[in-house]
Amino acid sequence: MLDKIFRTQSFRFGEGAISGYIACLLSVLCFLGVLSFHFPQYLTTPELRVNYNVEFLRQLLFVSLIIAASLGLLNFVRNKNKRLGAFSWFFVIISIALGGHKVEVLDFDDSTFYLGMDWFILDLLGSTLIFIFIEKLIPHRKEQGVLRPQWQGDLNHFFVNHLLVGIVLLITNIFIHKTFAWAVYADVQAFIDTMPFYLQLFSILLIADIAQYITHRLYHEVPVFWRFHAVHHSAKHMDWLAGSRQHILELIVTRTLVLTPIFLLGFSKTVIDIYVIIVGLQAVFNHANVQLKFGWLKYIIVTPQFHHWHHASDDAAIDRNYAAHFAFLDYLLGTAVKNQAQWPESYGVVGDYVPDGMYKQQLFPFKSVWRMLRKRINKPT
């Protein structure tokens, strides 16, 4: 999809490549913004929409369209590769044709099913601006560029998986409440409700991480499950975007297994919302190309260095460091990588057998499992 348009190239100011990439990002966000104006009941998050200043958003959209069009034009003039400029202008023209910043927002029913496009836009902008800045400010590998190899496929993963998060959370909530209603205990939920806010927040993170640890370990130790999780581990360069490389089925299964105890225990919506934000930020940060010293805290919480070892292809790192929030779980259960004073040398799946590109990676587990089943069926008895 994006691979043919966004080809990695050298960057020098004045050649139009940098402006082309910025134009593409802005034009796509503008297009999504216009769609959100047209269908706010389906594409925006109720908790966020009540705080929006519509007029400010219109002005922001108008300015963004001008900047995207101007930078796209600059790419046409200064760069031999016109694809970036054409891509950005395509979405600018469509956005304007759909009404641009002048789309009227009519009354609508707040109770409709929604996708959460606005959360996706904020997530993309926040992740891009914040984490790229942090990676350049305190990088672990200084030689690694922003557009490192295979970034196009990971950006595709980012688009698909982050757009699905809202749907997954909604479906998971409905599925859990209909399937496990028998497991709800009013006394337990009442006890959770009486807990102080910060104790609730710590509890939800700990319970979620225990569920995450068990699920994560199963992905590594059960061959069929590993075929799906291997997609995530196939990234050979770690940065804020690498964490988005994940199979869709793994995303759905993991969210369901982790959120089930959370919903059943009856944590408040506020606490769950904060947990979702924390887990999103920590997931991006722990994959990022950053180097920070946490001192003794590295034995308590999961840090980028801790999680980078989980992705390492070194022998000592295989099937280690499963926790997502609290590193002490791995130390208590004997699955922590020892002597993590240094950083791993290389990342990725040992044998490098997972194909490149989002589409091939989404199909890979099914083909791999089918080959494994055929071998067992045809194995002589």
Three-state secondary-structure class, residue 195: coil
Tokens 């926790």 belong to residue: 323
Give me the DSSP letters along 193-213.
Answer: HHS-HHHHHHHHHHHHHHHHH
Distance CA 2, CA 57 (A): 28
Do the Cβ atoms of 263 and 181 come closer than 8 Å?
no
Contacts of 182 (CB under 8 A, 6+ apart): none
Kindly state the average pLDDT of the residues 366-378. Answer: 79
Distance CA 312, CA 213 (A): 18
Tokens 């757009």 belong to residue: 163
Q: Which pLDDT belongs to residue 3?
A: 47
Distance CA 251, CA 74 (A): 39
Distance CA 255, CA 166 (A): 11
pLDDT at 112 over 70: no
Distance CA 118, CA 115 (A): 9
pLDDT tier for residue 166 given thresholds of 50, 70 and 90: low
267-319 pLDDT tens trace: 988 898 889 889 988 999 999 999 988 989 999 999 999 999 999 998 888 99
